[in-house]
């Protein structure tokens, strides 16, 4: 990847200096710099200024367009692009009918390579420059995913999915050979963790598909190497919660299953978190763990409505996630709109600032990566996207009559058009993608 030595991007720069809160229309943390230049050297942001930087810079003029940090998707399944938008019922039936058959196909190296390449390209085509990804149980699904991200210089967090029960045999690790599985995962950590911008995540699918021995193994590995992540699912569906209670009667709650095995840490990403109680939220906040709110998937599978205000009141970090294939699009703009709908349907309101923050700086902060991604600040990687404020005539009219920045941004989210994305840059380098 060839990094331009000195790059200057002109446009309307928008990012955040602090959490804007949930429903404040004019929060202090919004930083909007209309018609400014973003200066990039060696793949990193070195400054922002109003005046033309002059000679010696590769100048790219995007005046009148919106320049944002690249989106961060904190929970998504690469193999499930084959079943995106598939008809189904609720979570557990959907897994058996659609997810597991698609994931079994990832055992084929050629198939895994094609899917991983398409998945990474599709992220970039929606302005997502960082993702926390579930591949499958197959080592090749991890290798091809990391290779696809590495070739583009992406920040990516992923790891082999761990399952050793309650799934098709082709997707299960041998529960009688936990040391063997541990060696496989340890070798993957050695190969990929910390290479370029890649990080490894211990990835138990969810508590029902792992024995106590496998969860304990994940806890040992997590404690062994600095900077490792933990990603899994928690409290997505009422039937799932009931099942966990039957399988782990000694645990106080679904979240407590993970805590008992050393998996509740500051680098833990828990997808969904709909059916948590106050004690769970307090435990998450104390650990510094985050919830990846997956609104599109929650709507599509009828799982329930995540209580964002309760999480915020408890001090729990909340990020946004597409959760494809339960979610129906890799677009974080569509995800933000669905998050608004979920909260509105429960009688709550969140602002466009809230939504955008949760997909940029808020997510970066929850991942302990706020110095690197999610902001347009000197020292950060130049992972940025350039957007048209509007492309279609109707959207252009809506922008023309917007009364303030929040109204413009909210209309940009709600009247979204895939053609709005002009370019996606990783470390300042334009990434090719197909529409």
Residue 344 lies in a domain: no
H-assigned helices in 225-277: 238-247, 254-260
Judgement on whether residues 34 and 80 belong to the same structural domain of the protein? no
Rounded to an integer, what distance in angstroms lies between the CA atom of residue 43 and that of residue 37?
Answer: 15
pLDDT at 220: 96
CATH of the domain at 416: 2.30.40.10
Rounded to an integer, what distance in angstroms lies between the CA atom of residue 336 and that of residue 340?
Answer: 6
Longest dimension (CA), the chain: 68
Q: Provide the number of structural domains found in the chain.
A: 2
Predicted structure pTM score:
0.96
pLDDT at 98: 82
pLDDT at 1: 59
Residue 281: pLDDT band with limits 50, 70, 90: very high
Judgement on whether residues 153 and 292 belong to the same structural domain of the protein? yes
Judgement on whether residues 62 and 113 belong to the same structural domain of the protein? no
Q: Are 162 and 136 in contact (CB under 8 A)?
A: no
Judgement on whether residues 207 and 290 belong to the same structural domain of the protein? yes
Higher-pLDDT residue of 100 and 64 is 64
Domain that holds residue 240: 71-330
Residue 5: pLDDT band with limits 50, 70, 90: confident
Judgement on whether residues 120 and 254 belong to the same structural domain of the protein? yes
Residue 423 lies in a domain: yes
**pLDDT higher than threshold 70 for residue 2:** no
- Strand-pairing partners, residue 48, are 38
**pLDDT higher than threshold 70 for residue 4:** no
Residue 366 lies in a domain: no
Which of 196, 203, 84, 86 minimizes the C-alpha distance to 133?
Answer: 203
Judgement on whether residues 93 and 180 belong to the same structural domain of the protein? yes
Residue 180 lies in a domain: yes
Residue 341 lies in a domain: no
Mean pLDDT of the chain, nearest integer: 95
Q: Are 271 and 53 in contact (CB under 8 A)?
A: no
20 in helix, strand or coil? coil
Q: Are 430 and 401 in contact (CB under 8 A)?
A: no
**pLDDT higher than threshold 90 for residue 340:** yes
The pLDDT tens digits of the residues spanning 349-408 come to 999 999 999 999 999 999 999 999 999 999 999 999 999 999 999 999 999 999 999 999
The pLDDT tens digits of the residues spanning 306-319 come to 999 999 999 999 99
Judgement on whether residues 58 and 86 belong to the same structural domain of the protein? no
Judgement on whether residues 289 and 421 belong to the same structural domain of the protein? no
Query: What's the mean pLDDT in 319-328?
Result: 94
Q: Are 373 and 70 in contact (CB under 8 A)?
A: yes
Cα end-to-end distance, the chain, whole Å: 22
Residue 337 lies in a domain: no
Q: Are 232 and 271 in contact (CB under 8 A)?
A: yes
Residue 119 lies in a domain: yes
**pLDDT higher than threshold 80 for residue 88:** no
Judgement on whether residues 148 and 231 belong to the same structural domain of the protein? yes
Domain stop point among 299, 330, 361: 330
Query: What's the mean pLDDT in 1-24?
Result: 89
Rounded to an integer, what distance in angstroms lies between the CA atom of residue 240 and that of residue 226?
Answer: 32
Residue 167: pLDDT band with limits 50, 70, 90: very high
**pLDDT higher than threshold 70 for residue 227:** yes
Domain stop point among 298, 330, 362: 330
Query: What's the mean pLDDT in 172-198?
Result: 97
Report residue 385 as tokens.
């996207």
> Residue 28 to residues 312, 353, 410: CA-CA distances in angstroms?
18, 11, 17
Residue 282 lies in a domain: yes
pLDDT at 123: 98
Judgement on whether residues 382 and 288 belong to the same structural domain of the protein? no
Judgement on whether residues 52 and 199 belong to the same structural domain of the protein? no
Judgement on whether residues 42 and 86 belong to the same structural domain of the protein? no
CATH of the domain at 214: 3.20.20.140
């Amino acid at each position: 990847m060839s990094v331009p030595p000195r790059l200057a991007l002109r446009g309307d720069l928008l990012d955040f200096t602090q959490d804007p809160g949930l429903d404040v229309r004019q929060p202090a943390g919004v930083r909007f710099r209309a018609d400014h230049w973003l200066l990039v050297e060696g793949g990193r942001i070195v400054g922002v200024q109003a005046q033309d930087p002059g000679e010696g810079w590769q100048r790219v003029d995007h005046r009148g367009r919106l320049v944002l940090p690249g989106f961060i998707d904190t929970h998504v399944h690469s193999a499930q692009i084959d079943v995106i938008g598939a008809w189904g019922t609720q979570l557990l039936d959907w897994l058996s009918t659609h997810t597991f058959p698609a994931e079994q196909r990832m055992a084929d190296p050629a198939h895994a390579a094609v899917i991983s390449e398409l998945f990474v390209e599709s992220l970039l085509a929606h302005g997502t420059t960082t993702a926390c990804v579930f591949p499958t149980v197959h080592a090749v699904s991890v290798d091809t995913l990391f290779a696809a991200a590495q070739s583009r210089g992406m920040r990516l967090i992923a790891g082999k999915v761990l399952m050793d029960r309650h799934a098709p045999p082709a997707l299960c690790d041998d529960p009688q050979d936990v040391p063997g599985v541990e060696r496989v995962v340890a070798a993957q950590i050695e190969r990929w963790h910390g290479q370029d911008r890649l990080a490894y995540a211990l990835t138990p699918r969810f508590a029902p598909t792992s024995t106590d021995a496998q969860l304990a193994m994940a806890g040992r590995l997590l404690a062994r190497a600095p900077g490792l992540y933990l990603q899994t699912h928690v409290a997505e569906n009422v039937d799932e919660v009931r099942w966990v209670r039957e399988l782990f009667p000694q645990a106080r709650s679904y979240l407590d299953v993970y805590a008992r095995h050393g998996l509740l840490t500051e680098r833990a990403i828990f997808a969904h978190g709909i059916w948590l109680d106050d004690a769970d939220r307090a435990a998450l906040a104390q650990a510094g763990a985050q919830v990846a709110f997956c609104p599109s998937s929650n709507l599509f599978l009828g799982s329930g409505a995540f209580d964002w205000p309760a999480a915020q009141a408890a001090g729990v970090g909340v990020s946004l996630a597409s959760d494809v294939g339960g979610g129906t699009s890799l677009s974080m703009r569509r995800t933000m709109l669905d998050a608004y709908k979920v909260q509105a349907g429960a009688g709550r309101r969140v602002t466009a600032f809230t939504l955008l923050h949760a997909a940029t700086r808020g997510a970066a902060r929850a991942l302990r990566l706020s110095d690197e991604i999610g902001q347009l600040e000197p020292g950060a990687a130049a992972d940025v996207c350039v957007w048209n404020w509007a492309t279609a005539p109707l959207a252009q009219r809506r922008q023309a009559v917007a009364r303030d920045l929040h109204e413009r941004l909210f209309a940009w989210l709600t009247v979204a058009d895939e053609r709005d994305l002009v370019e996606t840059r990783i470390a300042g380098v334009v990434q090719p993608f197909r529409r």
